[in-house]
Amino acid sequence: MRVLFKTSYDQDIDHLVDPGERIRVGLVIAAALAAPLFVSSYFLSELSIFICYALAGIGLMVLLGFTGQVSFGHAAFLGIGAYAQAALLTHGVPFVISLPLAGLISGAVGAALGRAVSKMHGFYLAVATLAFAIVTESVIGAAEPITGGHMGLQVPAISFFGFELTENWQVYYLYLAVLLFIIWGTANLMRAPAGRSMIAVRDSETSARSLGIDVARIKVRAFFVSAAITGVAGGLMAHLLFYLSPETFSLLESLRLMLMVVVGGLGTISGAIFGAIFVSFLPNVIDLVRAFLPSALADQAGLEYLLFGAIIALFIMFEPLGIYGRWRKLRLFIETYPYYRRATFVRQKRYLKSERFR
Amino acid sequence: MSMLVIDDITLSFGGNKALDGVSFSVEPGETLALIGPNGAGKSTVFNVISRFYRPTSGSVRYGGQDLLQLQAHEIAPLGIARTFQNIELFENATVLNNLLVGRHARTPSNWTREFFFGGATRAGERFARRKVEEVLDLLDLQHLRDEIVRDLPYGARKNVELARAVCAEPKLLLLDEPASGLNPEEVADMAFWLQDIREELGITILMVEHNMGLVARLATRCIALASGRVLAQGSVAEVRADREVRRAYLGTAA
C-alpha cells in the first residue's frame, strides 16, 4: 500500500494529491472529452441527461450527504430551475444569464424552505420537504401565465451570443463544462470552512453550536447551495425535455434523486456520480425485469416506486456506504493484496451519544 | 475581577429543581473543580453557561457580558470552549477536520469566496492548519492526524475532544468529566496535558470531575454541589473534609 508522505500544508489542501487518484480522474475526464468522437449522436444526448442527473445528485449530496438534512422533494428544485430557465429564455434573457439566474431562483426558494424547516429533524423534515414538493407541483400547474400550467411550456433552443447550439455534441460539451465547474466548486467548498461546518452540523449539532457554528444559518445556506445546483441541473434538463409539464418533476423523480445519492454513497461527490451512472442504467434493468414478470405484475402501476424503494432499503441495510464504498473496498483489496481483512471496514463499537439537546 | 460570575441561578425541569440558587465565580488563571454526586447539577451548570439551557432565574456574566442575552453559538467567540461528558465529536471526519472545525469561531468564512477557493481562502487554510498543528503537538496527537474519529478508541477520542476545544483559543475551558472512562495511565496523561494547557496557554479551567485524584492534583479550588445547591467551596482538602459533603456522598449515618 502506498503511503503518502506529506511535507507541506498544501498537500492537505489541494485536490487529488494521491497520484493514482489523479490518473483515474484524468482518465475519466479525457474519456468524457473524447466521447463525441466515438459514440453516436443519440448516445451523446443520453450522456447529457446523465450529466443533468449527476448535477442534481451533487445538489442533493450537499444537503443529504454533507449537511445531513434529508429532502424527499428535491425534484421540486429541478422543476423550479427548469421552468425558470424556460420562462427566462422565452422572455428574451440570454442563456449565459438565464442559467445562473435559474440556479439563483431555485436557490432562493431552497433557502426559504431551509429557513422554515431549520428546526426539524429526521422524519418531520422528510415529511415537510415532501409536502413542499407536492405544493410546488401544484403551484407550477396553477401559475399558467408563467408556466403554461398543465398545457406545458415550450423550451427555446440554447443560443450563445446569437450562435445556436443545434448539434448534440455542442450541447454535450456545454453540459460537461457546467458539470466540471460545479464539481470543482463543490469540492472547493468542502475543503474550506464552509464544508467543515456542514459536516459539523451533520455529525453533531450540539458540539457545532458549542464551537460557534450557527446551525440554523448553515442549514439555510446548505439548502441554498443544494437547491441552486439542482436548479442549474433542472435548467439544463429543460433543454433535453423540449417541453415541460408539471408532472415531469413528480414524486418519482424525487425518489430517483434520493436513490441516486444513497446507492452512490452518501458523503462524497464521487458517490453522486456513481449514483447517476446507476440511475441512468436503471430503466434498462427495469425493462429487463418487466420481461420476466407475469403481465399481471409487470403492468401494475407503481412498479418503479416499489423497485426504487426496495433498492434504497437494501442498500441502507447491506451497503450503507453505497457503490462508492464498494469501490473503496475493492481498491483497498487490490492495494493490500493478500493482506486484506474484512474487519477493516467493520464499524467499531459506537459509544453512547447523548441526544438530549439536539 | 472575576472572569465568570454565576449569580443565584435556578433551573427546574417540571417540578424537579436541577439548580436551586447556585452562585459562584471563576477567577482568571485558576482551575476550579465542580464535584458532587450524580444528579447534583454539575453538567446542568455547564449547559447553562453554554446556553443550551436557560435558567428560570439568576444571571451569568462573563467579563461584564450577560451570557443569557446570547445564543449558544455566540458563546465560543467570547473565548469559552467546552467538552462533553459523552464525547460529541464529528465521527465521520478526520481528527484534523475535527480540530479545524474547532477553529470555526476564529476563522472568517465567506461561502462565495470559498466556492472559487482563491488565494485568500488558501492562505486562511494554511494559517488554520499551522494553528491546529501547534495543538496536535502540544497534546501529542500527531500520529492520529488523518484518522477518522469513528475508528478511534475511547481514550483517544477524549484527547481529540480536548484538543478541539483548545483549538478554539479559549480563555475559559469547560471540561465535563475529562477523566471518565479512562484507565489510570490515560488519566495520568490527561492530568499532564491539562497542566500543560494551563501553564503554556494560560487557560482558566472549570471542570466537572469524579476522579478525586485528578481533582487533587489539578484543582486550585473546589466546589461541591448536591441536589442543585452549593454545599461547600474552598481548597480540595477543605471540601473533602466538609461534613455536609461527606453526608451528601455517603449518607446521613456517616
Per residue in B106-147, pLDDT tens? 998 999 999 999 999 999 999 999 999 999 999 999 999 999
| Contact status, residue A210 vs residue B76, Cβ threshold 8 Å | yes
Cβ-defined contact of B116 to A185 (cutoff 8 Å): yes
User: Taking a C-beta distance cutoff of 8 angstroms, is the pair A67, A201 a contact?
Assistant: yes
Parallel, antiparallel or unpaired: strands B204-208 and B221-226? unpaired
The pLDDT assigned to A189 comes to 96
Question: Which pLDDT score is estimated for A217?
Answer: 96
The whole-number pLDDT of residue A358 equals 44
> What is the rounded average pLDDT for all residues in chain A?
89
Nearest CA in chain B to A6: B146
- By C-alpha distance, which of B55, B75, B56, B57 is closest to B65? B75
User: Is pLDDT above 50 for B194?
Assistant: yes
Which residues of chain B does A347 touch, with a Cβ-Cβ cutoff of 8 Å? 150
**Predicted pLDDT at B43:** 92
- The answer to whether A188 contacts B116, with C-beta atoms less than 8 Å apart, is yes
Using an 8 Å CB-CB cutoff, list chain A residues near B50.
209-210
In chain A, whose CA is at the least distance from the CA of B53? A357
> Among residues B219, A140, B83, which one has the least CA distance to residue B240?
B219
Please compute the mean of the pLDDT values over residues B10-38 and round it to a whole number: 93
- The amino acid present at A301, given as its one-letter code, is A
C-alpha cell at B253: 449515618
A chain contacts of residue B126, beta-carbon cutoff 8 Å: 9-10, 13
CB contact under 8 A, B168 and A211: yes
With beta carbons less than 8 A apart as the criterion, state whether B176 and B85 touch: yes
Nearest to B151 among A209, A212, A348 (CB): A348
Contact check, Cβ <8 Å, B52/A10 = no
CA–CA distance, B246 with A71 (Å, rounded to integer): 54
Q: Residue B254: which pLDDT band, with cuts at 50, 70 and 90?
A: very low
- CA–CA separation, A266 vs A69, rounded Å? 12
Q: Which residues of A fall within a CB distance of 8 Å from B82?
A: 210
Beta strands in chain A (DSSP E): 153-154, 159-160, 163-164, 243-244
Q: Quote the Cα angle for A221-A222-A225, to 5°.
A: 85
Beta carbons of A354 and B73 less than 8 Å apart = no
CB contact under 8 A, B89 and A199: no
Count of pairs with CB atoms under 8 A, one residue in A, one in B: 135
pLDDT along chain A (358 residues), means of 10: 75 85 94 93 92 96 94 94 95 94 97 94 92 94 88 89 86 96 96 96 94 96 98 96 90 91 91 92 81 79 80 85 84 80 60 47
Of B73, B85, B111, Cβ closest to residue A213: B73
B114 contacts A194? CB cut-off 8 A: yes
The closest alpha carbon to B212, from B254, B249, B163, belongs to B249
Q: Which of B77, B93, B104 comes nearest A193 by C-beta? A: B104
Residue B48 — very low, low, confident or very high, per pLDDT cuts 50/70/90? very high
CB contact under 8 A, B73 and A207: no
C-alpha span between B42 and B222 (Å, rounded): 12
CA-based nearest residue in chain B for residue A267: B92
10 Å CB burial of residue B156 (0-12, 13-18, 19+) is: middle
The Cα of A4 is separated from the nearest Cα of chain B by a number of Å equal to 11
Residue from A3, A104, A196 whose CB has the most chain B CBs within 10 Å, to mutate:
A196
Cβ neighbours of A198 in B, within 8 Å? none
**Which chain B residues are within 8 Å of A195, Cβ to Cβ?**
114
Pairing of strands B65-66, B80-82: unpaired
Chain B nearest-CA distance from A75, in A, is: 24
Which chain A residue shows the shortest CA-CA distance from B46? A210
Q: Which residues of B touch A59 (CB under 8 A)?
A: none
Taking an 8 Å cut-off on Cβ atoms, the answer to whether A13 and B122 are in contact is: yes
Answer yes or no: do B52 and A209 touch at CB < 8 A: yes
- Rounded to whole angstroms, how far apart are CA atoms A320 and A335? 22
What is the pLDDT, as a whole number, of residue B117?
Answer: 94
Round to whole Å and give the CA distance between A324 and A263: 8
Q: What is the mean pLDDT of chain B?
A: 92
Q: Which residues in chain B are contacts of A346 at CB distance < 8 A?
A: none
Rounded Cα–Cα distance for residues B15 and A151 (Å): 61
pTM, 2 dp: 0.92
pLDDT of residue A146: 86
Q: How far apart are CA B212 and CA B83, in angstroms?
A: 19
What residues in B contact A10, CB-CB < 8 Å?
122, 126
Compute how many other C-beta atoms are within 10 angstroms of the C-beta atom of residue B70: 15
Kindly report the length of chain A: 358
